[in-house]
Amino acid sequence: MIEYAVLEPPTVAEIRQFATRLSLVDDYETAASDIDAVRALEELKSVGAAAQASVTDHVSAVIRSDRRDRGVAQNKWDAGIASQVGLARRESHHRGGTYLGLARAVVQEMPHTHALMRRGLLNEYRAMLLVRETAHLSAEDRREVDRRLCAEAATLDGKGDLHIVAMASAVAQELDAASVVKRNARAKSQRRVSVRPAPEFMAYVNALMPMDQAVCVYATLRRDADAMVGSGLAGDRTRDQVMADLLFERVTGASAAQGAPVAVQMVMSDETLLAGGDEAAYVPGYGTVPAASARRLVADSVDTGGAGATLRRVYANPTTAHLTAMESSARTFPAGLASYIDIRDRTCRTPWCDAPIRHHDHITPHRFGGPTTADNGMGLCAACNYAKEADGWETTRIREDVAGLHIVRFRTATGHTYDSEAPASPRPMSSSSVEVRLDDLMTERRAG
């Protein structure tokens, strides 16, 4: 008689124990064995993503059911769930929402996709592509796309990301052409411009716009750049460099050589600015800037003869480099205090969320007696501020022995806690050093 072992789902402790064992993987002596290990680990990642999807969908269902049973308004059943998923995965609220949507889709409406993930044959990213390309369909049509593409593993075997997207899009158009047209029309309302950091003190400006407008913008810049290069007006600049300069000039009205006319609120220590210090500066929305580059930006702004540079002194604890406090008796944060919080927190204070600050929020709510102070204030993006107002969430200011640390503890509806510490600001020089340097500058100015 053949006996079959009955497998039970692993406990959380067993999963962590296996993760510890997996961390001991080093090499398998031969290149062939190492490649086999790479494949096995990739399959393990896919299976793990499928398990995460199942658990994520279940926790969402449990929280929604509990709120429904307690009589919470239906429009608040989902509040904070995406943030809890994001925090658990050490990701932002936005990414948490993406993973929550993926979980609901593959578990509830795309069983074949989920099955391929559980077999290690479809990774999380490609499953996400399938979910995205079928988001506009009805549940019935989405299941049909799932059946056609994922019922047999061979259908997607060997297919790249673009090929999978094209296959899903083709089936979706066949099933519901009208919804595809509506989706394309709706996409126009999502046009926007964003900026993100790039290496070497550079940045990407991204514009999402209708295809015809985007092609027109690019073609116009390329045509005019080619004309300048062909006529010799470009100097030693390449066509790509001329296109970038033309874009800046036509958007801002200033020449690329003149520099940016808009204040960037760069935060730097007095030693970096005045005494040749090496500590990096910080630009909101970009990140750290090398000390030499920061000084050059200030110098260039002064030398242009235009608006120039203005200085605002912000006081920091000389030991910890954390900013000191300001207060207000108002319920809302006044402009000066809000600006101070922006400088101190830099980005949203929710752990793993680096979205821009949109709201200035009370850690201890004002309705519970929380004062409008820097100590009781924090910067949040809009999504995280709404999430922390969900049923069962709580934020508290953590008092530490180390002076100057601003630490906020987030407690979610499931009782998990996450701490957020404000980043340290550039360290100041001693006042005597500042005075000596300022005196030298004044002497040089009078001599000149």
Tell me what percent of the residues of the chain surpass a pLDDT of 70.
Answer: 82
- At 262, the pLDDT band (50, 70, 90 cuts) reads very low
Q: Name the pairing type of β-strands 372-373 and 327-328.
A: antiparallel
8 A C-beta contact, residue 51 and residue 106: no
Task: Kindly report the pTM of this predicted structure.
Answer: 0.74
Report residue 101 as tokens. Answer: 């949507």
- Strand extents, DSSP E, 129-225: 192-198, 202-208
pLDDT-wise least confident of 229-233, 260-264, 426-430: 260-264
**Measured between alpha carbons, how far is residue 196 from residues 206, 234, 246, 283 in Å?**
8, 28, 20, 12
pLDDT, tens digit (0-9, with 9 covering 90-100), for 131-183: 999 999 999 999 999 999 999 999 999 999 999 999 999 999 999 888 877 87
User: What's residue 60's pLDDT?
Assistant: 96
User: What's residue 376's pLDDT?
Assistant: 92
Spell out the alpha helix ranges (H) of 70-110. Answer: 81-88, 93-108
Amino acid at the residue 145: V
Closest CA to 347 of 384, 398, 395, 402: 384
Does residue 384 carry a pLDDT above 90?
A: yes
What is the SS3 assignment for 359? strand
User: What's residue 367's pLDDT?
Assistant: 86
pLDDT, tens digit (0-9, with 9 covering 90-100), for 300-316: 665 555 445 566 666 56
End-to-end CA distance of the chain: 102
What is the SS3 assignment for 11? coil
